[in-house]
Amino acid sequence: MILTVTLNAALDITYRVPELRPRTGHRVSEVAERPGGKGVNVARVLAALGHRVTVAGFAGGPTGRVLRDLLARTAGPVVDALTPVAGTTRRTVSVVEPAADDTTLFNEPGPAVTAAEWAAFQVAYRDLLPGARAVALCGSLPPGVPVGAYAHLVREARAAGVPVLLDTSGEPLRRGIAARPDLLKPNAGELAELTGSHDAPQAARDARRRGARTVVASLGAAGLLAAGPEGHWRAVPPRPLRGNPAGAGDSVVAGLLSGLVEGLPWPDRLARATALSAATVAAPAAGEFDRALYEELLGRVGVAEAAPTG
């Protein structure tokens, strides 16, 4: 089983409009609702790949009930281990303009989590670790959760001997990396904010010095940069793809974790993660990917050794 943690889960709502214009009304041509938040997106992709997944985090209120109902209908083996809270799960709204190849995203802050609810989650998380082959800690923190939450959860996973991936940003990332996660998956902006460097190889080296064993950075259309004790690689998709980039980074996480538990060598993990990310851009919503496109791209991703980053 792979455990994904989404402390700030969301109900993802996607609108498609011909054109987004300020200060005017719009006719929405298509509406989609999905269970969301970064770790939930990761879980849905992993389930589509055939992996058993357990989703942990928080859910509450009417939106939380809808999220859990949609999660129960997810194709594939997904177990709902979300901790209930009194507050209401947030919504995220993506407004997609297909003709402009553009997406505008609105993120709500999430419910206020009490100390008792945070303590209940920690007990549930600790109980789930013995059955996990890998853990993904993903996304933002809702109000009330300590800023050092991910650092604590990384240490718990490491103490249980479970490989742990961290995918967050800002102060939770700075605190979390000091707990020495096995894998860090930032995008280019998050990596630059963490290290102060916009040179990706230099920034990856700095992130490893701060505590991450291996860094896999998402560089958008430029693919992935990986740096770790096993080697250094760049993985590049065979061609740029138009579409909705929401969730592309979550598919990278799913590709990396599935490759880890399957024992794939690093170049194959990176090829899978890159192909999944590209196929997600072409899909209608985060947490989904175009399977035919994924299978087409998988054998065409270019993975090459890169100069060591330290």
| CB-CB contact of 233 with 24 (8 Å) | no
Beta bridge pairs of residue 107: 92
Q: List beta partners, residue 308.
A: none
Beta-strand ranges (E) seen in 24-179 are: 30-36, 53-59, 78-84, 90-97, 102-107, 134-138, 164-167
Cα–Cα distance, 59 to 83 (Å, whole number) = 6
Q: Which two tokens stand for residue 65?
A: 């009930």
SS3 of 124-142: the string is: HHHHHHHHCCEEEEECCCC
Closest CA to 201 of 234, 175, 168: 234
Q: Is 250 a catalytic residue?
A: yes
Q: Are 125 and 5 in contact (CB under 8 A)?
A: yes
- Cβ neighbors of 296 (< 8 A, separation 6 or more) are none
* Residue in the structure block whose two tokens are 């707990």: 179
Q: Which amino acid is at 305?
A: E
User: What is d(CA 110, CA 158) in angstroms, rounded to the nearest whole number?
Assistant: 28
Are 55 and 78 a contacting pair, CB within 8 Å?
yes
Three-state DSSP state, 46: helix
Of 167, 182, 250, 290, the active-site residue reads 250
Distance CA 267, CA 270 (A): 5
Q: Which residues are catalytic?
A: 250
